[in-house]
Amino acid sequence: MIRGLLFDLDGVLVNTNPLHYQAWKELAEELGIPFTPKDHEAFLGVSRAQCLELLLQKGNQSFSPQEKARLCGRKNDRYRELIGGLTPAALLPGVPEFLKAARAEGYRIGLGSVSKNAGFILEKLKITAFFDAVIDGTGILSGKPDPEVFLKGAQALGLLPEQCVVFEDSAAGIEAAHRGGMKAVGIGTPQRLPAAELTIPGFAGLTPAVLLSKLV
Ligand code: BG6
Ligand code: MG
């Protein structure tokens, strides 16, 4: 029986993916590396350092570890500028209602994000109090598709992996859920996330009870 809901953050609760894209795009331009929204697909769910590796691979460029740390820092400074103005209005449609319904229905709620900015964003969106556990990029060693973030999330909720469902917008995150022994609900289209057990365009009009009845 499902007792816990583990949510990814970027692209699931809030539409920050375009802001990540913009910050990477600006860095890519400085480095003279072509970068399109299609290239950014592979960055979803992937840690900041790993995203930089993907970008440098694409541009066939190499830097020292110190220079890479500086480049990651520049990207993040720009991203922090872009997310500085987030308010609860940035929550994706239906998200606050879904989280409220999840509490009312007695589910334990966890965040499983590889972002190191997750705590800051939850505060900006004023949804920190919904979460019984927050696992983010500051508390893990391996990003998705490694299952670490979700396994730690289940553990922090006091549940077994099979008692949890993951909500994810990235292929890497769906794979992480599966490798952790959890089912995954994809936020997006079945074409983009074919491995998810169920795909929804978003949370509007849904409650956990209704949604999970379609999962079995
Ligand atoms: C994920 C995003 O949620 O967080 C990735 O999907 C991003 O695109 C990753 O690279 C790390 O985020 P941050 O905020 O730590 O740079
Ligand atoms: Mg995401």
43 CA closest ligand 1 atom index: 8
Report the side by side order of strands in the sheet with 198-200.
133-135, 108-112, 4-7, 164-168, 183-187, 198-200
Q: Among all residues, which ones are annotated catalytic?
A: 8, 10
**Ligand 1 within 6 A of CB of 187:** no
46-85 per-position pLDDT tens digit: 999 999 999 999 999 999 999 999 999 999 999 999 999 9
Identity (one letter) of the amino acid at 7? Answer: F
**Ligand 1 within 6 A of CB of 137:** yes
3-state secondary structure of 133: strand
**Ligand 1 within 6 A of CB of 139:** no
Q: Which ligand is nearest to the CA of 121?
A: 1
Burial label, 54 (beta-carbon count in 10 A; 0-12, 13-18, 19+): middle
Q: Which ligand is nearest to the CA of 143?
A: 1
**Ligand 1 within 6 A of CB of 152:** no
pLDDT values of the chain reduced to their tens digit, one per residue, 216 residues? 999 999 999 999 999 999 999 999 999 999 999 999 999 999 999 999 999 999 999 999 999 999 999 999 999 999 999 999 999 999 999 999 999 999 999 999 999 999 999 999 999 999 999 999 999 999 999 999 999 999 999 999 999 999 999 999 999 999 999 999 999 999 999 999 999 999 999 999 999 999 999 986
Bridge partners of 183, per DSSP, are 165
**Ligand 1 within 6 A of CB of 74:** no
- Measured CA distances, 145 to 59, 94, 96, 180 (Å): 23, 27, 27, 10
Q: How far is the CA of 42 from the centre of ligand 1 (A)?
A: 11
44 CA closest ligand 1 atom index: 6
**Ligand 1 within 6 A of CB of 16:** no
Residue closest via CA to ligand 1's atom 13 equals 115
- Reported as half-sphere exposure (CB side, CA atoms, 13 A), residue 148 has a value of 14
Return the percentage of the chain with pLDDT > 70, whole number: 100
| Ion ligand 2 contact residues with beta carbon within 5 A | 8, 10-11, 169-170
